[in-house]
Structure 1
Amino acid sequence: MKKTYNNPLCTILPQRVVMGIMGFLAIAVSYTIRQSLSVTITEMVPKKTDARIGETYSWSETEQGWVLSSFYIGYVISHVPGGLVAEKFGAKWTIGCGVLLMGVLNALTPIAVRYGNIMVVIVLRIIMGLGGGTTYPALSVMLAAWVPEKERGKLGSIVFGGGQIGSLVSFALSSVILGKYHWQYNFYCWSIISVIWFILFTITCYSDPASHPFITQKELNYLNAELGQTKRNDKLPPTPWSSILTNIPVMAMVFAQMGHDWILYVISSDLPKYLKEVLHVPTEEVGFYTSLPFLGMWLFSIFSGYVSDFLIVRRILTITQARKFFTFLGAVPPAFFIMAASYAEKNLFVVVTMFVCAMSFLGNFYPGLKINSLDLSPNYSGSLMALTNGIGGISGVVVPPFIGYIVDDKTNSAILQWRKVFWITFGFSIVRTVVFLLWGSGVVQQFNNPVKQLSVESGISRQPDTPTNRYEMSSDLSDQTIDKNVVVFNEQNKT
C-alpha cells in the first residue's frame, strides 16, 4: 500500500485543492507575462511616429500588432505537442518548464528590443509562446487525474480563472511600475515571480494522486472511489485523432472556443490602446481601468462554477444542459455590452462599466465551455484542450493585426473604426453560441475508450461500476439530446 502522511501540514488542505491553487497561479503567472507588453508598449512607442528617441521606438500600428500577436504563433503551435507530452509523461514538468521558459525569455525582451530589431523581438515572443502553449493542455490532463466530476465546475473555474487575476494584476501593477521606473523593469518583475512560482510548484504538485508523497490515505481512497483510478497510465493508446476531428460535439466546442477567444483578445490585447489613444486616459490610470473588467470576470467565474456544480449535483440540469446554459451566458450578454461601449463615445465611466459587464458575463465561459473537454474525454482531455485552445489561440494571432489594419489613425474617426471592430466581434459571438447550443454536448464520447482498450488499462478511464460513472450516466441519461450511440457503447462496457 502506498505510504501516505497524516500530519497537520498534509491535512490542512486536500492535495487536489493545493493542485488547484498552484494551477491557478500557473495560469496567472503566464498571463502576467504575456499581458504586460500590452501596457508596456504604450510607453515603448512614441505617441507620434517619428525617429527613435531615447528609450522609445518608432513602430507603426501594424508593427505593434505583430509584436503583440507573435506570442500566439508559438502558443498555437505548442498546444498539441504539450497535450501529448502531458498525457504520455505526466503534466507536472510540462506545466512547470513551460512557464519557466516564458519567464526566462521575458527577462531577455529588453535586451532584444535595445540591441536587436523588431524581428528579433517577434521571434523571441514566438518562442515564449511555445512555452505558454503547453499550460492549458497539461493542466487539463492534471485536472482529469485529480478532480472528481462533481467538483469540476468549482475547481475548474478556480484554475482557469487564473487568467483573469493574472491579467488584472499585470495591468494594474504594470501601470504603477511604468509610472515610477523605466519600462524594462516591468519585464524583470514578472520574470522573477515566474521563477518563484516554479520552485513552489515543483515541490507541492504531482501529475497524479498515486505519485504524490504527501497525500493522505483518506483523500487517496476518496479519489480512487470517485475516479476509479489514481495512477496515471503511460500505456494509454495513441490519441484517436480521426475520431476526434470527425466528432460533432468536439468541433462545436472548437468553434465556440474561437469565438470566445476573439472577444477576449479584443479586450485584453487592445483595451489599453483604446483607453489611451481614443479616450486619452493617462498612462498611470490605463492599467487600473483595464484591470477592472478582469476582476469582474474572475468573480463571476468562481460564482458560476459553484452554481454549475450545484445545479448538476441536485439534478436540476444535466451536464449537457449546464454546459450550454453557461456558455450562452458567457457569450451573448458580453457581445451586447461591448457594442454598447462603442456607442458611449468618450464617456469614460460608461465605457469602463460596459467593459466590466461584458467581461463579468464572459466568466460564465469557465463552467460552461472551458471544462467541456473533461466531459467529452477524460482520457484525452489534454489533446482536446490542445485542439480547442490551440485553434482558439489563432484569434490571438489575428486580432491585433486585424485591429491595427482597421484602426489606422488616432483621431476622432478612430471611434468609428473601433465600432466596426466591435460589430464584427458581436456577430462572431452570436454565431458561435448558436453552433454550440445546437451541437455541443456534455456526454463522454466513444473515442474516450478505444474499442481495442476497454479494460481498466485505458489510462484514467472510469470503470462502469464506479460512483463517478453512475453519477455521469444518471445525470445525463435524463437529457433527451444525449448521443444514443454513446449510451449503447457504455452499456456494452457493463456486460
Structure 2
Amino acid sequence: MISAWKACCGRLPQRWVFAVMGFLAILNAYSMRVCLSITITEMAPTTHKESIDDSCPYNQTINKDENNKKDVKLYDWDEHTQGLILSSFYWGYVITHLPGGILAERFGGKYSLGLGIFSTAIFTLLTPVVVDFGDSAGLIVLRILMGFGEGTTFPALNAMLAQWTPPEERSMIGSLVFAGAQLGTVLANLLSGLILHSYSWPAVFYVFGGIGVLWFLVWVLICYNNPYEHPFISEREVKYLHERMNEHTHTKPPPVPWRHMLSSASVWALIAAQVGHDWGFFTMVTDLPKYMSSVLHYSIQQNGFVSSLPYLVMWFCSTASSWLADRIITKGIMSRTNVRKLGTTIASLGPGAFIIAASYASCDGTLVVTMFTIGMAMMGTFYPGMKVNGLDLSPNYSGTLMALVNGMGAFTGIITPYIVGVLAPDQTLSQWRLVFWIVLSFFIVTNLIFVLYASGEVQYWNDPEFVIRDREERQLSKETNRQTPSKKS
C-alpha cells in the first residue's frame, strides 16, 4: 500500500500537503469552537428593550425569519450566563497547552493534534443531547472538555511546522496553517447562519462535528511527524528539507531549557503580543455575532454573513502579507526582526482604531460592517508578524514555546466574554464602546512591549549543545557544593 501511495502522491511536496491539512485542522478547531457564538443567539434569543434610549431601533421586517422553527426548546440565559458559557471553552483550553507542546516535541504532534480535534468533534456532536439534559451547566462542562481537546492544537502544529518548514517558506506556510482560524470563523458564522435559517439549532453541531471526524480520518492516513518518518515523501524533498533546516532544527532535542526560555526578553515580548492579539481577536470571534444580533438586530441569516465577512477579508490580507513578508526577508530589504515588528504593529493599531470607529458609527449597519471589516483585514498581518515568531526564536522548542505563548494568550478567552456579559448587560452602544476602548488599550500597550523587545533571530538556548553543556555545568556545580564542607563560624 505504501508503494501505491508513493507512486500516486510522492511527487507532491509533502510539506505543502501537511500545510493544507494543518490549515484544515485549525479551520475545524475554530468552526467547532465558534459556531456556538452565533447559535446561542437562537438558543437564547435576546429580548429587545425598546425603552432604552442608547440602542438601535428594532426593525421587525429586518429581523423576521420565515423559517424559524417553533418546536425547538429555547433557553432563558441572561447575558452573564451566556458570557460564562462562551468563556468556559477556554477554561479547559489553557490547561492542555503545555502538556500538548511537551508531548509533541517528545513524541511528535501527529496524534496529540489529531486526537485533540477528534475528541472535540465527538463533544460537538453530543452538544444537543447534553444541553437537553443539563441546560447551561451541562453545556459549560461540555465546553470545558472541548477546550481540553483543542488545547493541544497550536503547540502540536508548531512542533510539526518546525520539522516541515524551511526558513525561507516559514512566513507563507506558517500563515497558511494559522489562517485556518479566520476561515474557520468564516465557515462557522456563514454556514451556521444558513443552517439556522432553514433548520433548528442542533443541526449546526451535527454538521461541524461530522466534518471534524472526517478530517481526523484523512489526517491519520496522510500526515506524519517529520520528513524522516514519512513513508511516501520523495528523496529530493527530504534532502532539501535536511539541507535547509539541519542547523537549527533537530528531531530529538534535549529537555526544554526552561531557565533560559523564561528569562528571555524576546519570549516575554512575544507573550505580550499574543495577549494583545487574543484580547481583540477573541472579543470579536466570540461576541461579534451578539453585537450584530442584539445591537444592530440583523436576522440570523444576515448575521451569519456580516459576522463572517471581516474574517474572510482578514484571510486574504494574511495570505498576501505573508507572501510579501517572505519576499522582503529573502531579498534583504528588511530584517526578519523588523518584519515581525511591522506586521504586529499594523495588526494592533489598525484593528483597534477601526473597531472604535465602528462603535461610533451608531446604527448605520453598512458603515459598522465596513469598519469592522477594514479593522479585521489589518489584523491579518499578525500572522507574518508575531504568530510565526516562535519558530524564529526556537525551532527545536517551538511546540513548548507555542504552548507557553498561546496558553497565556488563551486566558483572555476566559476573560473577554465575561467582560462583555458584565459591561454590556443591556447590549447598548455606550456599553459596547467601553468594551472596544479596552480592546484598543490592550493593543497599544502589548504592541509597545513587542516593538521594544522582540527578536526574529534564533536564540542561543535553541542549540542542543548549549543546553547539554549548561545542564552538565549546573549538575557539576550542585555536586561540588554538596561535596564542599561548610565552613565553621
Same fold per superposition (TM over 0.5): yes
Deviation per residue, 1:119-175 (Å, 9 max, x gap): 221111011001111010100000000100010011011000001111101100001
Provide structure 1 residue ranges, at least 5 long, that are not aligned to the other structure.
456-495
Q: Which amino acid aligns with 1:186?
A: V
Instruction: Tell whether the 8 Å contact from 2:460 to 2:466 is kept in structure 1 after alignment.
Output: no
Cα shift at 1:48: 3.0
Q: For residues 297 and 135 of structure 2, what CA distance do their matches in structure 1 show?
A: 29
CA–CA separation in structure 2 for the residues paired with 1:329 and 1:214: 41
Does the Cα contact within 8 Å between 1:5 and 1:215 map onto a contact in 2?
no
Aligned partners of 2:318 and 2:380 also within 8 Å: yes
Q: Which residue of 1 aligns with 2:7?
A: 7
SS in 2 for 1:209: coil
Aligned to 2:356: 339
Q: Is 1:91 the counterpart of 2:88 in the alignment?
A: no
Aligned to 1:213: 231
Q: Report Cα offsets for 1:236-261 as digits up to 9, x if no partner.
A: 32212222111111001001100000
Return the alpha-carbon distance in structure 2 between the equivalents of residues 428 and 173 of structure 1: 31
Q: 1:408 aligns with which of 407, 425, 430?
A: 425
Distance verdict in 2 for CA 1:218–1:261, change over 3 Å: same
Q: Which residue of 1 aligns with 2:259?
A: 242
Tell me the residue number matched to 1:45.
44
Q: Is the 8 A contact 2:257 2:467 kept in 1?
A: no
- CA drift of 1:293 comes to 0.3
**2:220 alignment counterpart:** 202
Instruction: Tell me whether 1:57 sits opposite 2:75 in the alignment.
Output: yes
Amino acid at match of 2:320: F
Aligned to 2:452: 438
Superposition TM-score, scaled by structure 1 size: 0.87
Q: What letter matches 2:21 in structure 1?
A: M
Is contact 1:4–1:213 with CA below 8 Å preserved after alignment? no
1:116 corresponding residue in structure 2: 134
Counterpart residue type for residue 441 of structure 2: G
The 2-side partners of 1:225 and 1:337 are apart by 44
Cα distance per residue 1:316-349 (max 9 Å; x no partner): 0111111111111111111111010010000011
Contact 1:298 1:360 (8 Å CA) reproduced = yes
Q: Where does 1:445-464 land on structure 2 (aligned, <5 Å)? A: 445-450=459-464, 453=467
Once the two structures are superposed, what CA deviation does each residue of 1:370-423 show, in whole Å capped at 9, x if it has no partner? 00000110110001100111110011100001011000114xxx1001001111
Partner of 2:346: 329
CA distance in 2, matches of 1:342, 1:5: 54
Task: Quote the Cα distance in structure 1 between the aligned partners of 2:386 and 2:325.
Answer: 12
Partner amino acid, structure 2, of 1:64: Q
Give unmatched runs, 5+ long, in structure 2: 49-69, 470-489
- Quote the Cα distance in structure 1 between the aligned partners of 2:122 and 2:321: 35
Change (3 A) 1:230 1:381: closer
- Cα offset for 1:5? 7.9
Residue matched to 2:414: 397
Moved more, 188-197 or 220-229: 220-229
SS in 2 for 1:428: helix
2: CA distance, partners of 1:113 / 1:430 = 39
For the pair 1:156 / 2:174, whether they are aligned, the reply is yes
Once residues 304 and 420 of structure 1 are traced to their aligned partners in structure 2, the CA distance between those partners, rounded to angstroms, is 31
State the shift of 1:454 in Å: 6.3
Post-superposition offset of 1:176: 0.6
Determine the C-alpha separation between the residues in 1 that align with 2:299 and 2:32. Answer: 22
1:70 to 88, 99, 114: 88
SS in 1 for 2:93: helix
- Alignment counterpart, residue 300 of structure 1, candidates 311, 317, 321: 317
Which of 177, 183, 204 is the matching residue for 1:186? 204
Larger Rg: 2
1:350 is aligned to 2:367: yes
Residue matched to 1:317: 334
Specify the alignment match of 1:379 in structure 2: 396
> Deviation of residue 40 (structure 1)?
0.6
CA RMSD of aligned residues (A): 2.0
The amino acid of 1:248's aligned partner reads A
Structure 1 distance, partners of 2:303, 2:112, is: 34
The equivalent of 1:127 in structure 2 is 145
Deviation at 1:179, TM superposition (A): 0.8
Residues 232/190 of structure 1: CA separation in 2 closer, same or farther (3 Å cut):
farther
How far apart are 1:444 and its partner, in Å? 1.1
**What TM-score, normalized to structure 2?**
0.88
Counterpart CA distance in 1 for 2:103 and 2:269 is: 25
User: What SS does structure 1 have at the residue aligned with 2:345?
Assistant: helix
Aligned match of 1:31? 30
Work out the CA distance in 1 between the residues paired with 2:285 and 2:217.
Answer: 28
What secondary structure, in the 3-state scheme, does the structure 2 residue paired with 1:152 have? helix
| Structure-1 separation of matches of 2:256 and 2:74 | 48
- Kept in 2: contact 1:45–1:57 (CA 8 A): yes
d(CA) in 1 for partners of 2:105, 2:313 = 33
Compute the displacement of 1:7 (Å): 3.2
